[in-house]
Amino acid sequence: MENKLTLSLSVIADRLSKSELFNTLAKSDLLKIAAFCTEETYQDGQNVFIEGEPATKLLVVERGKLAIEKKIQLGRHSTPRNATIAYVCPNQVVGFSTIASPHFISATIIAVEPTRVLAIEGQKIRDYLSSNTETGYLVLGSLTKLIRGRYQSATDTLTYFLSIVSHELRTPLAAIENYLQTILGGFAGELNPKQERMLNRCVLRVIDLSALISDVVDLARMRPEQIQADFVWFDPGEVGSESIEDARLAATEKSIHLKIEPPAEFKPIVGSRRRMRQVFSNLLHNAIKFSPAESTVFFRAWYEEENLIFEVEDSGPGIPPEDLPFIFTDFFRASNVGESPGAGLGLSIAKKIMDAHQGEIRVKNLVSDDGKVTGSRFTVYIPLNLHTPEMRRREWNSEAGL
């Protein structure tokens, strides 16, 4: 009986040694871990793990395939849906949350074909790795590489997918906008005021949709190092003027007056010219979107010691106090936005851009003396001590004595 048990553990240990998580462990460790294992099978379409449930076991896939699914919700009012983000094949592992605190499953796992796994008891594997620190170090090192690899793969796939979708959507949208602008220019015949008004609204909707596509694509590419690679010297006054022109049509449609309050003189600064224009345009469009018709949106700028400060102020409904801590979160939309278009990405993207500039973006509700909210104010702080990539290279070479 003892020989049979030893043989069984030895066979399981050999099977574990092929897995991506345990392939660096000694045979003695694998034999100990094998004692915590049981064999399980799942049928096509069967749930293996449910996102949010306690993580009680770690699974090593031996045959078949599992799908990793995440719950996706674009804004608080949309219906949550599961989306497949990766597949787990033989010798790969799922249930990492069993090892990593707080031990709750972070994704739903579903069998997409008949699948056989080795299931490792969660508490026992945690106790073993805690009491055998060298083994725990090896396993956690492998775990870190696996998580990084999966994250990178998911990010690359998402970026590639979004770039293709973006291209396929932008091409017809650009053609539609060109035709609309041609008609508005009178090249297809004279328009009456009602027709012109309706066509201008069509142009606005096309612009909104193009901006939404850009925001979704940017979300996957919005990494600090990519933004910082674009740092150049630029005139912030010119960028501010371009942002105002970006928002001019939307303001005209609602009869909103844009009041500009610049400093006496703008001086060149370092930053990503394209991304700063994106920040200003996002803030101006938001202000116009949520301001009542025939109101005023203020766009100010001034210098304070180490920062250039831009400010956008509107006369809208403000942001509910309970929503303020989340206003810069991806896909978050305030509870009082109603059916207004948008995916809740503009402010989160603006925040990521400012973080890459080592700056800040702050929001504040404006309140009258009688306690009534009269609008909101977004303030952008751009440091004046940023360096271009070339300036950083020169500094590094100087410090290295090159």
C-alpha span between 79 and 75 (Å, rounded): 9
pLDDT at 171 over 90: no
Query: Which residues is 233 bridged to in the sheet?
Result: 270
Residues 296 and 284: their CA atoms lie apart, in Å, by 11
Of the candidates 39, 343, 393, the one whose C-alpha atom is nearest the C-alpha of residue 231 is 393
Write down the domain spans for the chain. 2-131, 154-221, 229-391
Q: What local confidence, expressed as pLDDT, does residue 277 receive?
A: 93
pLDDT band at 172 (very low <50, low <70, confident <90, very high): confident
Structure tokens at 260: 């500009």
167 compared with 210, residue with greater pLDDT: 210
The more confidently predicted of residues 98 and 163 is 98
Within 10 Å of residue 142's Cβ, how many Cβ atoms?
18
CA–CA dist 47, 66 (Å, integer): 9
CATH topology of domain 2-131: Jelly Rolls (2.60.120)
Mean pLDDT estimate for the chain? 86
Q: Which of 72-86, 171-185, 379-393 has the lowest mean pLDDT?
A: 72-86
Q: What is the pLDDT, as a whole number, of residue 236?
A: 95
φ/ψ of residue 259, rounded to 5 = -100, 120
Q: Are 93 and 48 in contact (CB under 8 A)?
A: no
pLDDT tens digit sequence for 93-112: 999 899 988 899 988 999 99
**Exposure class string for 371-386: b at 16+ Cβ within 10 A, else e:** eebebbbbbbbbbeeb
pLDDT at 178: 85
pLDDT tops 90 at residue 339: no
What average pLDDT does this structure show over 349-356?
92
- Backbone dihedral angles phi then psi of residue 369, each to the nearest 5 degrees: -60, -30
Q: What is the CATH number of domain 229-391?
A: 3.30.565.10
pLDDT at 49 > cutoff 70: yes
More confident call, 273 vs 333 = 273
**Closest CA relative to residue 96, chosen from 137, 66, 139:** 139
Cβ contact 297:244 at 8 Å:
no
Strand order in the sheet with 360-367: 257-261, 296-304, 307-313, 373-383, 360-367
- The string of DSSP codes covering 272-287 is EHHHHHHHHHHHHHHH
pLDDT at 3: 41
* Per-residue pLDDT at 119 exceeds 60: yes
Structure tokens at 120: 């490792």
pLDDT of the residue at 342: 62
Q: Average pLDDT in the 172-189 region?
A: 84
Tell me the Ramachandran region of residue 121: left when phi exceeds 0, alpha when psi lies from -120 to 50, beta otherwise: beta
Confidence of residue 6 (pLDDT cuts 50, 70, 90): very low
- What is the pTM (predicted TM-score) of this model? 0.58
